[in-house]
Amino acid sequence: MLRKAKEELAKGIAPVDTRKLFYEDLRAILVADYTANGKAEMDGEDLVISGKKGVLKSLDDFFGGMAVQAITTDTLRRFTAKRKEQDGVAGPACNRNLARLRRMFTLAQREGKVTYIPYFPMSKESDPREGFVERPEFDTLRAEMPVNLHAALTFCYETGCRTGAMKQIVWPWVKLDKNEIHLPPGVIKNRKPLILPLSKELTVMLKKLFRKDGPVFDTTNFRREWIKACVKLGLGKKTGEEWHQYERLIPHDFRRSAARNLIQAGVDQSTAMRITGHRTVAVFQRYNIVSTEQLHEAMAKVSENATKTQIAVGSSLNNP
């Protein structure tokens, strides 16, 4: 750092005094960038990204009031350790936190506010999740959860919509006469408008719940009830004393379930991607998980084809 400062002085660049720069200053730069580029919006002091609030809370709680010069690699390691040990957060989630903090540093460096960005020690990313829910399993899970959550569960399972986007949906977007929900730009992750078709079952549910305005889906205690039901049914397990310390089946598994269900139903990939809101084929294919049964079916088809070929060859040899 000292060498870099000397080089900058030699070039006539005034040194930056990071003792007077705090985490809140970097945070403000990130918020300004995100809101200016339509990546997020503000709800009071809360930054909202794709409908999800509190995305900076873990960073605010740990780094709030901290001088930028105190944010070193060792400090970043302590942050990750705290998130994992005390908050029960997995490595990939910690990486998302650190990525946002690193973005703050990068933007501040562009503005000449900082000259040095510490090394960010990232955790090993886990392999893509392979959880998906078959329809009978979904019906059992839904029956185990409170009735007020049934519409939200059905919507997410059938369309693959993220829970964050689902919670934003209001009644003026619902077109029951067309069996559709029209999501305006900015609701889903790719920031584009999306028309989601509704099944007959879900349409009937929504007609019973219809209101002129306000949120469509009741999500009261959604996560708590999810964990409770999954643990009871053996679809998940507790990993600690706190209610949120839990692993295995998560609501996001409905997203990959929807992708897989659409393809299995014969829907072409392009149409399926429009329904789930996926932008790239690569990500969609990660979600379109192949089950063991499908692999056996594929091998049975190979064997059947080989048998047909052998018969055809034998027939041609016997009948020159």
Give pLDDT tens digits for 260-295.
888 878 888 888 787 877 777 766 766 655 555 555
Q: What are the C-alpha distances in Å from 41 to residues 28, 51, 101, 139, 232?
A: 13, 9, 18, 36, 38
Does 11 score more than 60 pLDDT? no
**What's residue 31's pLDDT?**
93
Least confident residue range of 114-118, 238-242, 312-316: 312-316
**What's residue 314's pLDDT?**
58
Least confident residue range of 78-82, 181-185, 260-264, 291-295: 291-295
Assign 12 a pLDDT band (cuts: 50, 70, 90): very low
**What's residue 9's pLDDT?**
46
Residue 175 contacts residue 184 (beta carbons within 8 Å): no
| DSSP one-letter string for 85-112 | HTS---HHHHHHHHHHHHHHHHHHHHTT
**What's residue 88's pLDDT?**
78
| DSSP one-letter string for 192-235 | --EEEE--HHHHHHHHHH--SSSBSS--TTHHHHHHHHHHHHTS
Does 15 score more than 60 pLDDT? no
Residue 27 contacts residue 107 (beta carbons within 8 Å): no
Count of C-beta atoms within a 10 Å radius of residue 276: 23
For residue 47, the surrounding DSSP H or E stretch is strand 46-48
Find out if CATH 1.10.443.10 is the number for domain 135-287.
yes
For residue 259, the number of C-alpha atoms closer than 13 Å in the C-beta half-sphere is 29
- Going from N- to C-terminal start, the domains of the chain cover 2-110, 135-287
Query: How far apart are the C-alpha atoms of 50 and 152, rounded to whole Å?
Result: 17
**What's residue 2's pLDDT?**
52
Burial 226-262 (b: 16+ CB within 10 A, else e): bbbbbeeeebbeeeeeeeeebeebbbebbbbbbbbbb
Query: How far apart are the C-alpha atoms of 119 and 279, rounded to whole Å?
Result: 31
Tens-digit pLDDT profile for residues 203-232:
999 999 999 899 999 999 999 999 999 999
Q: What angle do CA 49, 54, 55 make, to 5 degrees?
A: 55
Residue type, 211: R
Looking at residue 5, the DSSP 8-state letter turns out to be: H
Least confident residue range of 6-15, 131-140, 246-255: 6-15
Assign 180 a pLDDT band (cuts: 50, 70, 90): very high
For residue 152, the surrounding DSSP H or E stretch is helix 150-159
Whether the predicted model's global pTM rises above the 0.75 cut: no
SS3 (DSSP) at 243: coil
Query: How far apart are the C-alpha atoms of 133 and 307, rounded to whole Å?
Result: 34
Q: Which two tokens stand for residue 222?
A: 């959604």
36 or 141: which carries more pLDDT confidence? 141
> Max alpha carbon distance in the chain (Å)?
93
Tens-digit pLDDT profile for residues 144-170:
999 999 999 999 999 888 888 899 999
**What's residue 142's pLDDT?**
97
Query: How far apart are the C-alpha atoms of 47 and 52, rounded to whole Å?
Result: 8
Residue 243 contacts residue 227 (beta carbons within 8 Å): yes
Q: What angle do CA 259, 260, 262 make, to 5 degrees?
A: 70
What average pLDDT does the chain have?
83
